[in-house]
Structure 1
Amino acid sequence: MVTLAEVARHAGVSASTVSYVLSGKRSISTSTRLRVEQSIHELGYHPNAGARALASSRSNIIALMIPLRTDMYVPVMMEIAVAVATTARTHGYDVLLLTGEEGPDAVRRVAGSGLADAMILMDVELDDERLPLLRDTAQPSVLIGLPADTSGLPCVDLDFRATGALCVEHLATLGHRDIAVIGEAPAVYERHTGFAERTLDGIRSRARESGIGLLHRPCGGGYDATAATLARILDERPGTTGFVVQNEQAVEPLLALLRQQGRAVPEDVSVIAVCPDQVAVQASLRLTSVSIPAQDMGRQAVERLVAKLDGTGTDEVVLIAPELTVRTSTGPAPSTAV
């Protein structure tokens, strides 16, 4: 393993000069800094993480609290986590994963132990019990999600309220007057998870404005749960011609059930999903969808956190505008078809 002293000899400088180049604590001439950086590159030197942390009073670690719940679509969460990790590395930070189920205890442990320099929280609830702890600590943090009260907390999220409204607007434009929402698992709403609540709020608001009949039914994952939910919807509102699906695990079962019932998509019913593009394009029918910008959310969260660590960040709320991609699963309502 290459040592700092070997880098110093190779560059023809003192060990302290190499240390100053690495830490940035003192101004070093451009020519000397470039010579040291060249030696670091040629020798393949990697500073000892523990020594670096002692010298800088930083761990160079970002804690990421990620949900690993059975009622959440894990691939989306992991895509965000990968984006966080890869972006963090470009800024010289490693990522410590914590499970969301630890809740406030994990926040206390990280804030009180110096395990990490900062935190990113996912799976944010409207009245999240972790947030008062974040506000009480000086440790920088960023939320991927939107609570009811965002004061003092920088947030990054898809604008889920606008997402819900966009789905209804698309179906309304096509002439659909009775719409059903196949939502997340019941526990997601029981926890008042922000993304699900805000999507539903946007759907309801736009449906009222457009004079559209609306049903919302939570749905567990898998074929049987989707079959029960669809049966209930069609029993309560047999004239339903448009479905908004915010539950990745219900997408394919819904399409299969509609085929079994002889309901053609999009001739008889239209289906629009809030889901990753991969889910939409790999379904048995290419779905009209609003994409979940997982990579963008993870990247922006890290960039805002690094800015906070550098003393230049703000507590702004960043909402990513939804983008709807029309594919083959939506069309005119039967009564308006030509």
Structure 2
Amino acid sequence: MAFNYPKTHLFHFALFLVLILRSANVEGLNVGFYANSCPLVESITSNVVKQTLSVAPSLSGPLLRMFFHDCFVRGCDASVLLDSPTNQAEKDSIPNQTLRGYEIIDRVKSALEMHCPGVVSCADIIALVSRDVVVQTGGVSWKVETGRRDGRVSVLNEALSELPPPFFNITSLKSLFQRKGLSVKDLVVLSGAHTIGISQCAAFTNRLYNFSGTGDINSFDPTMDPNYVAALRKKCIRNGPNVFVEMDPGSSKVFDGHYYELVSKRRGLFQSDAALLDNAETRNYVETHKISGNQGNFFKDFAVSMVNMGRIGVLTGNAGEIRKVCSRIN
């Protein structure tokens, strides 16, 4: 369920974001970059996302993840969208094989090419779509900085090395986020994106069986709630079909703060979720925001962290290009 702000809180929240974003003009990025060159860019993108999620709500998680998976490899340059004739692009790597929704990005691009050909980058489309997904699933809106240009390189192995696997511990997570210019707070806030979407059992079954590594198939990750383990085992049959489960059971189609309640109860699906309890700052955030009344603060923080992530390694000015088709360079 979306959080209902009192009007006074809405005003102060909006003022806060305006102040933050007015001061944020990073290397050619700014809010309203297409105001003159493509004034309908945001409404066109929003309409496509709204239509998509009305008939395919399961795409909300993958479309939101796409922004993260793009920005963490070579920066936010839409390299995750490029095809490779030899299957050696980012999208072919194991971490990206569960991404879906590329056709939605293409649909937005086609609509924009009809309205303002050769103007809007695929990198900016991914950023705008991620915001609109959050809005359409009941979450917060924010002003998206635009002005990114598209990269021309996409390498499978770089995705393997730069995207955090689900088994990362808190030390590895903090190190990776620091390399990307993101803070520990950004780490715990952006982890909250796991409030929507689903995951293949293969991403976490190591926590359910033989976790000790001694051959005892009944041993499981001791940081998990045993009742949660039992429920997951019923859904994820060992060595059976690769089924999907909700990352935020009972609330996986709604962007809310329920994720932190689950993590606090040792019901985070991945080891990287459980790792948030292994650091004083991230644990404090989880404990503070597990209460539904603090959802508004999470929303505010998420908006700021998404802007921060959207600045990673951007190409602006004359760097890169504006692709005509998002899946291939010009």
TM-score strictly above 0.5: no
Given the two structures, how large is their TM-score scaled by the length of structure 1?
A: 0.28
Higher relative contact order (CA 8 A, sep 6+): 2
Larger strand share, 1 or 2: 1
Query: Greater Rg, structure 1 or structure 2?
Result: 1
